[in-house]
Amino acid sequence: KIKVPGAILVDQPGPLTIPAITKIEEGGILMSQGPITISGDIVHGPPPAAPALPEPLTIVSLKGDITIAPSVRNIEAMLIALDGQVKFGGAGDITITGGVATKVLDPKTIVLGGKRKIKYSKDIDPNGPNRTVFKVFYGGEDRVACVGEEEKP
């Protein structure tokens, strides 16, 4: 499971590998300076108690590609490769519930092999019909804090 309290920047020399995540306790923005490999399914898990909605998880590569391993079948997150692309490592079926934003989007890599779906879900949209999420991040090099969430009536 994962809990991202706001925004986290992973600044390491090599690629960041994200293993399978079976429960997103608190969504946020997980960023890496370099490439990212997603090596397992990423799902929200059982729904939270009403009236809470799951918070979206956004995975961002600032200067590289996001590669999805061949065994991955389900990702419930936004994937953003600011200076790269999202690459599918295999030919199997995969569903991304969230969104994909890249500098380069090669349609040939999406249609190879199995069925590839990118679909919208209002439940993990920060501006979905039931709420507006407002977060403020502040802090210095040693800390980042996050405050605020506002639900629509």
User: pLDDT by residue (tens digit) across 22-80?
Assistant: 988 888 889 999 999 999 999 987 766 655 666 788 999 999 999 999 999 999 999 99
Burial class for 76, CB neighbours closer than 10 Å (0-12, 13-18, 19+): buried
Predicted confidence band at 84 (pLDDT cuts at 50, 70, 90)?
A: very high
Structure tokens at 10: 């992973």
Residue 9's alpha-carbon distances to 43, 56, 87, in angstroms, are 21, 17, 21
Q: 3-class DSSP state for residue 23?
A: coil
Predicted confidence band at 117 (pLDDT cuts at 50, 70, 90)?
A: confident
